[in-house]
Amino acid sequence: MLPVTADLLLRNVASPTGRRADIAVTGGVVRHVGAAVRADETIDCSRFTCLPGAVDMHVHMRGGVQADKEDWRSGTVSAVAGGVTLVVDQPNTVPPITTPDRLRARIREAGEQAVCGFAINAGVLPDADLTGMWKAGAMAFGETFAAPSSYGEGLDLESLRALFARIHTLGGLATVHAEEVCGTAPETLAEHDRARPGEGEARAVGRVGELAPVGMRLHFCHLSTAASVRAARGSVEVTPHHLFLSYEDFDPDNTLARVNPPLRDEATRRALWSCWDAIDVIASDHAPHTLAEKSVPFRSAPSGIPGIETMVPLLMAAVYRGRISLLSVIEKTSWRPSEILGLPRAGFEPGDRADYALYPDELTRIDASRLHTKCGWSPFEGSEAVFPEEVIVGGVRVYAHGDLLEARPRFCPGKGYLLQ
């Protein structure tokens, strides 16, 4: 007699330590590892590398009046097609998320359209109702704009200090976009880099760290240089575009590669890789704009690039090429972000969240026409990548071989939600 019946059995899963085991899942959670069970559905994982689903803690899902760029449906299909099973949306929507009502409306919009797990951050502005949004289920605060960017005004240092004090009192996590802006209307990618220089970013990161109350939970978004990583007093996030692209890869006035913080030169990009071990989180900063919006002179083009679907595939190609370890990718795309946000982790032990992506052995190349984002382009066109063949969210197979099979939206509230 077999001892248990599971919803799903993953057979022959190789953990990052190399141990092979069967994983039995019930109710979206790992129940047994290595035990013989009967299951409603079985997936043989022996020809795959099985990763815990990625948590992309920095995405701009757009939607609302910006649904022509992206919406929750297209953005989260793009997520699962890239092995991401939980997304954390940033509050610089139009209008921004600054009140509990707007946050609740955003949760409703996501709940109706998303196909995977989602969380929503609260906007950080002096007149925002931080406490109300924390109680309404905000996951974290920010990205807080310590410098202006698309759909976000920069805050002065005194406002930031006061807002940090309020966030610290709530026990919240403050996430910060730190830069120095010293030039406007750049005509080229190199000028854009000089207008928002790497040295200025490192200085801004240092200043922001000093403003934070001792013991506050602080997270630095999308750091683009080794000096910024060293200056950070808090957790460190880096994007795939700053790791894999430099502005030297593009024509000088290519607007598609315009992003904040800017792409750097090749030497700076390489130096960022030397900090790999010090990086806590890789997040995409998925910031889609339409080709029409990008098809204007460089000086007036919006900043931001899509990247949720290509993030883990690019990293997996680096694993297959022997540049980084599989374990480091799992830590930076799944386990550390879960820990920083206070979410149960996805993984291979009893009690873990049953979110996985199954990667084949073969490397392919990125073809933007096959991606699922609405914006329809990628700055990583032609780069080596490994895309997942199957993706499991909450113990349910939601995606296989390019097709969405089922939607599993799940709202993940922050810690303040329990206070209601």
Residue of minimal Cβ distance to Zn ion: 177
Q: Is 401 left (phi over 0), alpha (psi -120 to 50) or beta?
A: left
Q: In sequence order, which residues have a C-beta less than 8 Å from that of residue 275 and are 6 or more positions away?
A: 226, 229, 230, 238
**Cα gap 224→230, rounded to integer Å:** 11
Nearer to Zn ion, 32 or 177 (CB): 177
Q: Does 177 sit near Zn ion (CB under 5 A)?
A: yes
Residue 304 CA to residue 289 CA, distance in Å, equals 7
Q: Across-strand partners of 173?
A: 217
Question: Which residues are paired to 410 by β-bridges?
Answer: 117
d(CA 197, CA 217): 26
Cα–Cα distances in angstroms (integers) from residue 263 to residues 112, 166, 183, 248, 372, in the given order: 35, 33, 16, 9, 24
Question: Does the annotation place 285 within a ligand binding site?
Answer: yes
Exposure string of 141-175, with b = 16+ CB inside 10 Å and e = fewer, is bbbbbbbebebbebbeeeebeebbebbbebebbbb
Whose Cβ is closer to Zn ion: residue 143's or residue 390's? 143
With CB cut-offs between 5 and 8 Å by kind, which of Zn ion, ligand DOR, none does residue 150 bind?
ligand DOR
216 is annotated as contributing to ligand binding: no
CA Rg, the chain, in Å? 21
- Give yes or no: 285 in active site: yes
Residues of the shown chain interacting with ligand DOR in the complex, contacts defined by CB under 6 A: 60, 92, 149-151, 177, 259-260, 287, 303-304
Check 285, 355, 367, 403 and give the catalytic one: 285
Quote the least distance from Cβ 143 to Zn ion, whole Å.
5
Residue 88 Cβ, how far from ligand DOR at the closest point, in Å?
14
Residue 177 assigned to a binding site: yes
CB of 218 to Zn ion, least distance (A): 15
Residue 175 vs 303, nearer CB to ligand DOR: 303
Q: How far is the CB of 142 from ligand DOR (least distance, A)?
A: 10
Neighbours of 267 (CB within 10 A): 9
User: Is 60 marked as binding a ligand?
Assistant: yes
Question: Is residue 286 part of the contact set for Zn ion (CB under 5 A)?
Answer: no
**Chain contacts with Zn ion (rule: CB under 5 A):** 143, 177
Output the known binding site.
58, 60-62, 92, 143, 177, 222, 285, 289
Output the known binding site for substrate.
60-62, 92, 289
Output the known binding site for Zn(2+).
58, 60, 143, 177, 222, 285
Catalytic residue numbers read 285
